[in-house]
Structure 1
Amino acid sequence: MNLARTKDGPDAPPRQGAALAALAAAQFTVMLATSIVNVALPQIRSGVGLSDGGTTWVVNAYGLAFGALLLAGGRAGDLFGRRRVLLAGLAVFAGASLAAGLAGSPGLLIAARALQGVGAAAIAPAALALTMNLFPPGPGRGRALGVWGAVSGAGGAGGVLLGGVLTQAWGWPWVFHAVALGTMLVLIAVATLVPRAADRGSGRFDLLGTATVTLALTCLVWGLTTARGAGWTDAGVLSALLGAAVLLVLFARVERRRPDALIPPRLFTTGRVAAGNLLMALLGSVWIALFFFLPLYQQQVL
């Protein structure tokens, strides 16, 4: 530690804090995009001519791409450099946000939201890994992760408030334009403040694992979403849910046999990891649904 302080000089802590601020801002942007559309959904629906099912996909397209590719984004950061992947993810995220604000049809809007999710899947794991690299194990890392958690919660809550303000003041496209502008500012901050590091790893990218888990989640979400209108006994719904189950089993078998697996099976041999994942899955299913339904209920029913 003394050698590091001598090398970096007295300015090392401020530089470290500035880099943490830039990385936390990247996480804030990801969480903001998760919730900022919810209050604007009625206006978005009428603005681009969305159906009931299409309205849900404005949220689902982002969450599905984000969740399905999150593991792949983390692995890409390991292989190609986390700072490089973070900057690329921010660029994709900003471009997709701008495209969503300019979209004039349901298909273009949903595709832009999915592309936003792709960018978010690169941003979140790379930014967190860079934060862990900045702070060695100890109290400093604990405080940094505390900041990270607080910023994540603030992004989710701030998105609801900001989405309502922007929609009322300038219309629903500014929900996306504001995210695009903010993301560009974050990209500049990361490029300026986050130091370069030799953080490339070794190994290969798990294309088969990525493909199977992405298709499995897509089938699952499509089946659950379509069941609302078509019914649970519809052949298409049952086929999608069955396909999701088969693909998830295939994914588990693939991961057991690959040396560079997206999810190393050893992670689930620890009870704490399995319990933590289960609790986060239950929490996500509650709060994401709450953010979607509550603004619609308040605006269209109350």
Structure 2
Amino acid sequence: KIATNMSARPLHIVTPCKHSRPISKTSGFEVWMKLENCQPSGSFKTRGIGHMCLKNKDSPRFVCSSGGNAGLAAAYAGKQLGVPVTIFVPLTTTNLVIEKLKDEGADVVRGGAAWDECNQNALKFVEESGSVYIPPFEHPLIWEGNSSVIAELDSRPDLVICSVGGGGLMCGVVEGLKKRNWDNVPVLAVETHGANSLYQAVQAGKQVTLPAITSIAITLGAKTIGKQAFELTKTHPIIPCLVSDEDVVKTISSFLDDEKILVEPACAASIAVLYNGKLKQLVASNPLLANVKKVVLIVCGGSGVTIDMLNGWKEKFNV
């Protein structure tokens, strides 16, 4: 347990923001990578979830519903703060992630076919047990914690690129930009086909619930985009963008070659736009992106990936 005089310190670390020569050369933009894969839990989730857990450090128990990374962040935070943790995971969660959750001391419950059902079971458990609910993305404390990723940047970018699942990272990015008076910096919000609840919501002009998650990027698997994330598309220059699972697999492999970092599909989605030429197309066609030169890419991380999994995906998509 963290000592009393240490308890107010953030549970996340200040991550490197590293210039990528290979990706800059490939994409034609000046690309800086914010390496959130370096966080203690393996992803950016340590920021927002760690912040919320710290604010509730006297709780009897933390309960989180998660496909992996949010749960790992909550489990890490609970272990650091000496608070028991129960994580409800969807049936799609890999044994790799479940074992990591258990290694952090968390109790793991398989709670539904997809995150949405899993979340309902977590909320019922919270109501019955008097525990504190730690949502994976939809809470002001989560966004406040995630906003620290922008607070650490040395200078103003022309564009921030991030992956979107439930929208907690994007909400934090936008909040961070506003705090620094960078309100006009656009955000490229990237999803995969088959896990594109933000894209479909923007097209429909309202929140949309997907019938199922059909992408390999299962940690982007919120069937309905968070309310705050959707509302922000009306007030901030946010450009939703889609990439294919095939491009994601190619990107994981290329990024591993170029930067010696293995990322999961949900993270690779945002990186893919720099490898597949999508950003160049958008810059040429979208006035909001006309002056983009310096790009901050949030490498959001994620622990649900192995070389064997990558090889399986490469075989599946013949890449």
TM bin, normalised by shorter chain, reads under 0.3
Bigger strand share: 2
| Higher normalized contact order (CA 8 Å, seq sep 6+, divided by chain length) | 1
- TM-score, length of structure 1 as denominator length: 0.24
Bigger helix share: 1
- TM-score, length of structure 2 as denominator length: 0.23
Q: Which has the larger radius of gyration?
A: 1
